C-alpha cells in the first residue's frame, strides 16, 4: 500500500488529483490511499513520516510549499515530494528541498500517470512482499505486513487488513502455498495467521495485538507454537 498526501489550498485541485489517483489505482491494481490537506501547516502538524509520496502546492497562503517541504525534510529525508505549480518560475525553487519533480497545473491524467509510474516502480523495489488478486470489487494489491489473518468465508476467503476486509476467491490451501513461508501459519483448518500480529497464545485461542481472538485447534496447536517460536527467535 502506497500512502500519498495531497496538499493544496484549492479544494478543487485536491479533489481532482484525488480522483486521478483513484483512477490510477483502478486501472493498475497498485493500491494507493490519498490523504488530503488544504494548508501546509496542517500537513506538517500531523506528519510522522508515514507517506511515500507528497503532492505539494508551491504557492499557498501561510506556510507555502517550499517552507512546508523544508519542515518535512527535517523529519523525513526520503519521502518523494512532487510540487504542483501553475507558474514555472516557482518550480526551480523545488530543487532546494530535494524534490522529485514538479507538475504544472492544470493536472492531466496522462502527466500524473507518467509521474506515478516513475516513482511507483522505485517504491515497489524496496517494498515488502505482497499478494495481488481480483474479486468482484476489482483488483487488489495487499502488502503482507498489512494482513493480520485470513479465514474462510462462504467458500472463499476473507482477508483481514488494516484498511478493512477483502474477499478473495482462492482456497486457504492455495493462499497458504503462496504466503505460508512468509510469517503466516495455520492456527485452525479455517484460519491463517500473520505471526507478526500474535500477542500471546492461550489454550484454545490466539490473541492478536489488534485485540482479535483466533481459534487454535488441537491438531494445529503444536505446529503453530513451533512456528511462532521460530518466528520470535528470528526477530529477537
Q: What is the pLDDT of residue 98?
A: 63
Instruction: List, run by run, the mean pLDDT of 10-residue segments along the chain (236 residues).
Output: 93 96 91 94 89 92 91 87 77 61 90 91 73 87 91 96 93 95 96 96 96 97 95 76
Q: Is the pTM of this model over 0.85?
A: no
Decide: 126 and 110 in contact? Cβ < 8 Å: no
- The superfamily CATH assigns to domain 2-126 is Response regulator (3.40.50.2300)
Q: What is the pLDDT of residue 125?
A: 65
Q: What is the pLDDT of residue 94?
A: 56
Q: Which helix (H) or strand (E) holds 28?
A: helix 11-28
Q: What is the pLDDT of residue 140?
A: 84
Q: SS3 of 235, please?
A: helix
Domain ranges of the chain: 2-126, 131-235
CATH entry, 131-235, from 2.40.50.1020, 3.40.50.980, 3.20.20.60, 3.30.70.1230: 2.40.50.1020
Amino acid at each position: 500500500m502506497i500512502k500519498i498526501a495531497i496538499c493544496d489550498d484549492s479544494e478543487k485541485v485536491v479533489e481532482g488529483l484525488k480522483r486521478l489517483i483513484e483512477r490510477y489505482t483502478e486501472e493498475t491494481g497498485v493500491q494507493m490511499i490519498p490523504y488530503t490537506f488544504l494548508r501546509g501547516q496542517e500537513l506538517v502538524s500531523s506528519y510522522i513520516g508515514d507517506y511515500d509520496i507528497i503532492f505539494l502546492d508551491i504557492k499557498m497562503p501561510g506556510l507555502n510549499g517550499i517552507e512546508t517541504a523544508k519542515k518535512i525534510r527535517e523529519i523525513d529525508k526520503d519521502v518523494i515530494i512532487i510540487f504542483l505549480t501553475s507558474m514555472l518560475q516557482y518550480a526551480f525553487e523545488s530543487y532546494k528541498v530535494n524534490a522529485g519533480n514538479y507538475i504544472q497545473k492544470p493536472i492531466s491524467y496522462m502527466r500524473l500517470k507518467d509521474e506515478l509510474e516513475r516513482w511507483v516502480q522505485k517504491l515497489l523495489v524496496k517494498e515488502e512482499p505482497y499478494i495481488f488478486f481480483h474479486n468482484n470489487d476489482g483488483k487488489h494489491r495487499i502488502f503482507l505486513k498489512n494482513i493480520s489473518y485470513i479465514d474462510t468465508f462462504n467458500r472463499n476467503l476473507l482477508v483481514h487488513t488494516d484498511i478493512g476486509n477483502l474477499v478473495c476467491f482462492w482456497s486457504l490451501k492455495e493462499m497458504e502455498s503462496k504466503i505460508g513461508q512468509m510469517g503466516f501459519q495455520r492456527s485452525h483448518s479455517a484460519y491463517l495467521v500473520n505471526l507478526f500480529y500474535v500477542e500471546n497464545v492461550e489454550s484454545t485461542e490466539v490473541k492478536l495485538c489488534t485485540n482479535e481472538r483466533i481459534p487454535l485447534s488441537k491438531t494445529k496447536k503444536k505446529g503453530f507454537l513451533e512456528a511462532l517460536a521460530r518466528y520470535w527467535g528470528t526477530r529477537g
